[in-house]
Structure 1
Amino acid sequence: MNVTELLRLLQSEHDETAARADHLRAQIDQLTNALTEVEARLAEIATTGKVIDGLTLPDHEPAPTETANVYQRIVTAFNEHPRRVFRVRELHELLGLPTDEPAINVTRSRLGRLVRQGILDQPGRGRYQKRT
Structure 2
Amino acid sequence: MNVTELLRLLQAEHDETAARADYLREQIERLTGALAEVEARLAEIVTTGKVIDGLTLPDHEPAPAETATVYQQIVTAFNEHPGQVFRVRDLHELLGLPADEPSINLTRSRLGRLVRQGLLDQPGRGRYQKRT
TM-score (norm 1): 0.49
Of structures 1 and 2, the one scoring higher in RCO (CA 8 A, sep 6+) is 2
TM-score by length of 2: 0.49
